[in-house]
Amino acid sequence: MVKVRFAPAPTGFLHIGAARTAFFNYLFAKKNKGDFILRIEDTDRERSKPEYEKDILESLSWLGLKWDKKIYRQSERSKIYAKYIKQLLDKNLAYHCFCAEEELKAQRQEQLSRGEAPKYSGKCAVLSKKEAEKLKNEGKNSIIRFRAPSKKIIFQDLIRGKVEFDTGLMGDIAIAKSEKTPLYNLAAAIDDSEMKITHVIRGEDHISNTPKQILIQQALGFSQPKYAHIALILGMDKSKLSKRHGAVSISEYKKQGYLSEALINFMALLGWNPGTEKEIFSMEELIKEFSLKKMTKSGAIFNIEKLDWMNGYYIRKTPIEKLTKMCIPYLMENGLIEAVDKILNSKSKILNKSKVLNSKFQIKESGETITFEKMCDIVRLFQERLKKLSEIGELTDFFFKEELKYDKELLRWKNMTDEELKNSLEKLEKIISEIKEKDFKKEILEKLLMSEGDRAGDRGKLFWPLRVALSGKKASPGPCEIAEVLGKRKTLEKIKWARELMK
């Protein structure tokens, strides 16, 4: 049975590079009807924090990457590691190294100055057990090193093909801080064996760790899993991915208003090539079509504009009630509205539709109440334009403000004179005043304004001032669409405000 693992260290928030590794492991497991194991590598007690582990678990769950079985934590497995460390020491396959860090640093500098690859000199490898015990009794600090045999390690990488290492170039490997505290390579080798991991799929930055882990596996009589090393993610300038390229933690993407479906789809194409022009995939399609044979060997380019486009696509496909519910926290955060009832705070994904539609909010500036249904009408106007949910506040703020702040020059269509602009605003007020409340619809308003605009010889003389009067913006949905959502009373109030501005 196929078993893969995602093994993050809780020393920071879950980054998109690590999330992508988890995702490819998940796809491989599900494609092969295997298990996706989550292992928290928290042996670094100083840097490992509960808040980082919480972020990892919440981010994976939000992305839909549900792990199988229990969560394994290395901090709870010290007895297992101690057993194997003792076994290596008893068989003289490992030894205590008492060299101080300053000594090792000087040694590395000397080797580099001679153009040599830095490796441990083996100074403590010749100490007898009696000499090592004496130094320990004297209180000398030590780590444990594995006696690395000088040989060729060859393995078949499932992405890169044949990979060969000369272990004689790396020297004896540091594998533990003490007889109970393993370092990364030893803990990984032990855990992969104990958990019966069949495939290790990870970033290519780990490829230098693979021969070390294979040596430890061989020394302990473990079977060797198959390895696949994923190409790293690069920025648009081909340099290592960083925040300046738009890369942040998964929780930050969520906060900015990216949808989990969009991130999943985007990550899939960072290093995996479906072999077609198709770019939009559901999770089910990805599981069906995923193959390590389709993984690219060169670095995957992170393009934030592509992510924004993809997120916009998924926003447009989201049912309006669901999208509105997702947008409301951003409108509240922007100080535009506040909830009157708590129906939308429910964590349940299945809500009574009539209750949701009848839930109410208060517009903070005016104190008026607005229904969820009306909120849907507002959000619907911007569904085609949204790239991120966090943009909704800036785009829709004019719906929740009594007096809009904009330069009166923005009202002017082309070379209109002040007199022409005043006349246009008066005409707009007159036309709208005469429309009955029940007829105040986009289609009717559009028909009346087009007819009047044609008589004036330029439709823009009515449509442009109306757009600006209602939104205060140069770019917005159509003015008749906005007017219908605002309603007749508020539309007239905003036109009157524009006329006052012209005075």
Question: pLDDT tens-digit profile of 40-86?
Answer: 999 888 899 999 999 999 999 999 999 999 999 999 999 999 999 99
Q: Which of 96, 169, 148 is nearest to 126 (CA)?
A: 96
In sequence order, which ranges of 410-478 are alpha helices (DSSP H)?
418-433, 442-456, 460-471
DSSP 81: H
pLDDT in tens, 350-360: 445 555 666 88
Which of 24-28, 213-217, 238-242 has the lowest average pLDDT? 238-242
Whole-number mean pLDDT of the chain?
A: 92
What residues form DSSP beta bridges with 94?
146
Give residue 346's pLDDT.
44
Q: Is 46 helix (H, G, I), strand (E, B) or coil?
A: coil
Q: 451-459: which pairs have CB atoms within 8 A and are 24 or more residues apart?
A: 452/427, 458/413
pTM of the model: 0.90
What is the reported pLDDT for 347?
44
Mean of the pLDDT values across residues 399-428?
A: 92
- Residue pair 228/199 in contact (Cβ under 8 Å)? The answer is yes
Give the whole-angstrom CA distance, residue 422 versus residue 408: 11
Residue type, 95: Y
Q: Which two tokens stand for residue 283?
A: 């999770």
pLDDT at 393: 96
Residue 473 binned pLDDT confidence (cut-offs 50, 70, 90): very high
DSSP string, 144-172: EEE-----EEEEEETTTEEEEEEGGGT-S
Contacts (Cβ under 8 Å, ≥6 apart) of 317: none
**Count of other CB atoms within 10 angstroms of residue 323:** 23
Of 211-220, 235-244, 412-421, 442-451, which range is least confident?
235-244
Tell me the average pLDDT across 225-239.
92
pLDDT band at residue 20 using 50, 70 and 90 as cut-offs: very high
Q: Which two tokens stand for residue 24?
A: 């490819």
Lowest mean pLDDT among 277-286, 372-381, 454-463: 454-463
The token duo for 229 is: 């090393």
Burial state string for 5-44 with b = 16 or more CB within 10 A and e = fewer than 16? bbbbbbeebbbbbbbbbbbbbbbbbbbbebbbbbbbbbbb
- Predicted confidence at residue 250, as pLDDT, reads 96
**203, β-bridge pairs:** 230
Q: Letter for the amino acid at 85?
A: I
Which residue is it, tokens 């100074």? 123
- Which residue type is seen at 399? F
Identify each DSSP E strand in 325-415 by its residue range.
337-339, 360-363, 369-371
Provide the pLDDT confidence category of residue 503 given band limits of 50, 70 and 90.
Answer: confident
Q: Which uninterrupted H or E stretch holds 398?
A: none
Residue 342's pLDDT is: 61
Full DSSP string of 280-319: ---HHHHHHH--GGGB-SSPEEP-HHHHHHHHHHHHHTS-
**417 exposure class (CB count in 10 Å sphere: 0-12, 13-18, 19+):** exposed
Domains of the chain, start order: 1-72+231-317 (3.40.50.620), 319-399 (no CATH), 408-502 (1.10.10.350)
pLDDT surpassing 70 at residue 361: yes
CA distance 251 to 270: 19
Q: Write out the E strands in 340-446.
A: 360-363, 369-371
Neighbouring-strand partners of residue 39: 72
Give residue-wise pLDDT tens across range 175-219. Answer: 999 998 999 999 999 999 999 999 999 999 999 999 999 999 999
pLDDT tens-digit readout, 313-354: 999 999 999 999 999 999 999 999 998 866 555 444 444 555
User: Could you tell me if 187 and 81 are in contact, meaning their C-beta atoms sit under 8 angstroms apart?
Assistant: yes
Buried b (16+ CB within 10 A) or exposed e, 464-476: bbbbbbbbbbeeb
Which pLDDT score, from 0 to 100, does residue 456 have?
79
Burial state string for 226-253 with b = 16 or more CB within 10 A and e = fewer than 16 = ebbbbbbbbbeeeeebeeebbbebbbbb
